[in-house]
């Protein structure tokens, strides 16, 4: 394998993947594309010496992707604005950035004969069923935010390009947890870990405490991407990818196991839904993938990471 291209390479997932893939795929050039919208310069610091890296600061909507894809085996498309809750206030920006980015990358991959892994989200589900899978009815695809609505449109776009020869895999990721150099703190587990380490109360939506939702360990996420590549699993299908189905209550109690004195502050939120459901990942597991991520270990690693950082800046 000569080259793997990663868009949005400096984000929470990307900054972990580019490091992990240096050992997962030794000798492969890793082309990192990022527009630096969030200025995560630190994601480029201390990259593994064994990695063959090439960084390009650019917006995938504006550059000549076909030239960059020369000799590439696969594009892992991570470039996106990812704050689902925050997307209610900037739906048009989400649409312009995320959908157009995916469209440009998918078209270029189809034209160049390059495989593509694109990320969707388990938040495209909106169901009253206890368990939901990729085979659910269209009525159960009720995106829970403008971010998720755009993800569903991206899924449909990628699927439509199969007739043009696009070899793709679409992964509906659960909410990511676990530390990385480029991590953010707008999602439940990471936000709660940050608040706990800083001695702040955990701000929990009052309607969400007992809601069950899917979560994905960052190491499982990276291993899933590597698994798709190794198995050449570009069959055009959609795969749910998650380590656990958990309630916010489960997460809070796990954090209390490390920081017993943590308090919870319940806040009202009229924007996000009040649905609770589990997501099945049996389709992906049936391909031979094993999830090894663990919420307790992920929270332990995140708290340790934050404590080290905090100590270094005292």
In this predicted structure, what is the pLDDT of residue 116?
98
User: For each of the chain's 314 residues, which pLDDT tens digit applies?
Assistant: 799 999 999 999 999 999 999 999 999 999 999 998 878 888 999 999 999 999 999 999 999 999 999 999 999 999 887 654 444 455 667 777 889 999 999 999 999 999 999 999 998 997 667 899 999 988 888 887 888 889 999 999 999 999 999 999 999 999 999 999 999 888 889 999 999 999 999 998 877 888 888 999 999 999 999 999 999 999 999 999 999 999 999 999 999 999 999 999 988 765 455 577 899 999 999 999 999 999 999 999 999 999 986 554 44
Look at residue 186 in the predicted model and tell me its pLDDT: 84
pLDDT of residue 37: 84
pLDDT recorded at residue 144: 76
User: Architecture of 3-177+217-242 per CATH?
Assistant: 3-Layer(aba) Sandwich (3.40)
Domain ranges of the chain: 3-177+217-242
Find the angle CA(186)-CA(191)-CA(195) to the nearest 5 degrees: 140
pLDDT given at position 82: 63
Alpha-carbon dihedral sign for residues 254, 256, 257, 258? positive
- Asked if 247 and 211 count as a contact pair (C-beta separation under 8 A), the reply is yes
Pairing of strands 212-217, 244-247: antiparallel
């Amino acid at each position: 394998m000569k080259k793997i291209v990663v868009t949005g390479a400096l984000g929470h997932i990307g900054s972990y993947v580019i490091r992990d893939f240096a050992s997962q795929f030794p000798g492969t050039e890793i082309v990192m594309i990022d527009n630096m919208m969030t200025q995560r310069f630190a994601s480029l610091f201390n990259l593994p010496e064994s990695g063959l890296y090439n960084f390009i600061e650019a917006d995938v909507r504006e550059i000549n992707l076909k030239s960059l894809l020369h000799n590439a085996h696969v594009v892992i498309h991570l470039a996106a604005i990812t704050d689902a809750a925050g997307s209610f206030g900037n739906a048009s920006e989400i649409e312009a950035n995320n959908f157009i980015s995916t469209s440009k990358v998918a078209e270029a991959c189809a034209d160049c004969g390059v495989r593509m892994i694109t990320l969707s989200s388990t938040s495209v589900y909106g169901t009253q069923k206890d368990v939901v899978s990729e085979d659910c009815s269209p009525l159960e695809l009720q995106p829970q935010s403008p971010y998720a609505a755009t993800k569903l449109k991206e899924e449909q776009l990628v699927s439509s390009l199969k007739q043009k020869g696009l070899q793709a895999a679409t992964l509906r990721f659960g909410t990511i947890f676990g530390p990385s150099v480029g991590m953010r703190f707008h999602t439940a587990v990471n936000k709660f870990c940050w608040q706990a380490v800083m001695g702040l109360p955990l701000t929990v939506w009052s309607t969400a405490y007992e809601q069950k939702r899917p979560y994905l360990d960052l190491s499982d996420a990276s291993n899933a991407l590597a698994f798709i590549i190794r198995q050449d699993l570009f069959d055009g299908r959609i795969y749910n990818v998650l380590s656990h189905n958990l309630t916010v209550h489960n997460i809070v109690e796990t954090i209390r196991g490390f920081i017993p004195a943590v308090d919870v502050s319940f806040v009202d939120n009229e924007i996000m839904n009040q649905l609770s459901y589990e997501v099945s990942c049996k389709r992906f597991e049936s391909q031979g993938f094993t999830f090894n991520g663990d919420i307790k270990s992920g929270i332990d690693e995140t708290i340790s990471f934050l404590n080290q950082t905090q100590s270094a800046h005292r």
